[in-house]
Structure 1
Amino acid sequence: MNAPASTVMPGLERYAALDQRLLAAVRGIRILPTVAWPASLENRMIDAYSRGRFSLPEVTYARPELGAVRAELAAIEAAAGGSDPLDIDPLGDYLRRTAESWRIAAEMLESVGSASVTAPSIALYGRPDDMIPGSQRSNLDAAHYFVALSDELGADLLADDSIVNMPADALRADLSATLDDFFGAGTISVEVDPELTAKAAAGATRIRLRGGDCFSDYDRHQLLAHEAFVHSLTALNGRRQPLLASLARTSPRVTATQEGLAVFAELMSGAIDITRLKRISLRILAIDMALNGADFVEVYKYFSLCGQSTADSFHSAQRVFRGVPPGGGAAFAKDNVYLSGLLTVHTFFRWALRQRRMDLLRHLFAGKLTLHDVIALQPHFESGAILPPRWLPPWMQHVHGLAGKLAFSVFINGIQLSQVQGEDWLAGV
């Protein structure tokens, strides 16, 4: 999809040039591929674990040399403006923050295979014990809550496994037809990748499915809501931006908002259930375990005890130990963002509704933006320098329905369940 025939507005050329310079600098930074494990290693170890033969994985990583990249990113930060956003245009602040996050990511990747990955990954993705905005509770508290609630409701993770009956090739054909209808024929390709670590991954024009896996109908709905109608959609909208081409690429600093928005999309479109919330919550508890000294086998056994299959338990533990030693005390913190991002995005949607600012919610899909960016860059949305989104997810196209759900959520949040007793219903309340 080509960008529209728009030109950069007069006076903003400096920011467009810095943005292009930024994109050129980060072209060689590939975070997840650098910390990924070979599929062949995973397959061997899953087979061994299924037979009760446990050992710590031995993973070899190729450390990239990114010294020149870091220097260039630091120069871009300086050229974009100072650290006080009040002293610079929001465009300069956006570029400074984005360059800084890529520089931290480069430092992280240069330490791949060592415990030194932990600190920069936490700087980028947060810690399990970080506080949730507007709350006195932490991300870890939320994770404990959703795991306990799932267990109380009997949401057994194994229940979903019994209905997983759609081969990757069949899902590929199904998704391709749906996406052609929505975005236009050939805009997004769907491929099966036998080397993919995650069950699925999405870029602007390609969605990959892990080869050899089977999927459920619920997986299909989740992939559409999460991968296609958020990750791919925001990338495609970002590609249309004449001023900030970087809005088409997920920088490290936007990961929490992007993943939170994607899980929120699952919630709004009915493509999430308590089991899914339990899965992403367990990963946060596992990161906390690893940071506190648990090794790979201990984390694997934790997932297994929580009801996951051998393969799922291995893949879940593997996500926690990507790029770090498996002996405990270190972790790759990216999975921290799914629940914290969901809670923060949900709060943002409720706040925007209260402020009667549905425009902010639409602008969130104009590219790869943080919640901060959507507000700070409003003058440039209003001027037309940053374009509104070409595509919106299906659930965002029905504004009245969305407003109804959020309005109900805003009001019902004021009812304190701790004040409600079972006897109230017997009394006719």
Structure 2
Amino acid sequence: MPSAVLHRDTRSIPKKAVGGKGIYLTLEDGTRFLDSTGGAAVSCLGHGNEKINQMIKDQIDQLSYCHSAFFGTQVSEDLARLLTESTGGKLSKLFVVSSGSEAVEAALKLARQYFLELPTPEPQRTRFIARLPSYHGTTLGALGAGGHVLRRQPFEPLLAQNTSHVSPCYAYRGKKEGESDADYVTRLAAELDAEFQRVGSDSVCAFIAEPVVGAALGCVPAVPGYFAAIKAVCEKYGALLILDEIMSGMGRCGTLHAWEQENVVPDIQTIGKGLGGGYAPVSGILIGDSIVQTMDKGTGVFRHGQTYQGHPISCAAALAVQKTIQEDSLLENVQTMGSYLESQLRRQFEDHPYVGDIRGKGLFWGMEFVKDKTTKEPFDPQTRLSFLIQEKGLQPEYAVSLYGCPGTVDGIRGDHVVLAPPYIVSKDEIDIIVEVTARVLADVLAELEL
């Protein structure tokens, strides 16, 4: 019988997952599948955590839903308190929704409204600046903010034209020969400054960027000093800084917030994936106190709301996940196992003829593939290398998730894979991940006769 589900590929029905425990999923055919990417860097605590399940059940028994226009809940208050305190109060309010795209939409709208709430309103601020080839979500506002060609292409006529894009901080391809990190940062900051001036320096609401670029580039961290320089440009022109930590935040890079490592506090931060670890759909935005104070002295009303905003079950799942990360000292494990994963990836792949770059932070690592290591020439998009690697990993003899993405170089050309194992991963499990990844890559390349 054909499936009634609109799957991601209408011509292919995926195998059903029927259970999960720790970093493994069980499939309908009995395959024990190693979830080495946590889905899309989501399942940060693995599957079937009984303590988290129980907290969610307790919330269901107490209250499953109430509309935030009418009532609040204690669980949403507790989650907000925990997360705002984790920023030292610099980000003083939390707004909870259900997906990363929704969080980005809310962040963009809040940035715009902030300028309307100022004592002297600035209604001319209608623009945003982002980076190529960034990915910030699939809804029209978030997609318009992103700069990923393949994802934007079919919907270009529908997208708002109020976002422009500058170069990413992508040292592997962006730094010039002999250029220092400091000089590279200066050049990128100058490019952003020039873009502010080109579009009208007082027309920009915010600059939006991922601290560590996820799916679009494959776990690319900025070079030291980049975000401090970028924030200085934003402050020069009175624009906000939005850091999109949907993928890289909530402990994924070794600190609860990725920006902690640069000590550059955003005005608005989006969070998702690792917030609830996949135990319920949940995301949110953390909001700088100056924005909160401005809103409070203005209308006091964020003119944006959603039916499932602050959903009690989602908040319970997020609170349970965040408490578990704290109580089980899992950030320390991310740091320790992250260092081990890096060392094993470099040992296995640094000299591989088709692996151009290995990069990442914490338990968030990517490998970029090239046809020629000297010229950094990517594979022909027709090869679909990253797709073949991902599909090969799904086969029972490998049974490992390898998050393959195309478009690394310019949104169309280039291939990378992402590895993002759960924060509970062990050395033995990392050894398996690296060994099976090597087998998958070798077999795919052999089939391509490379």
What is the TM-score when the length of structure 1 is the normalising length?
0.32
Q: Structure 1 or 2: larger strand share?
A: 2
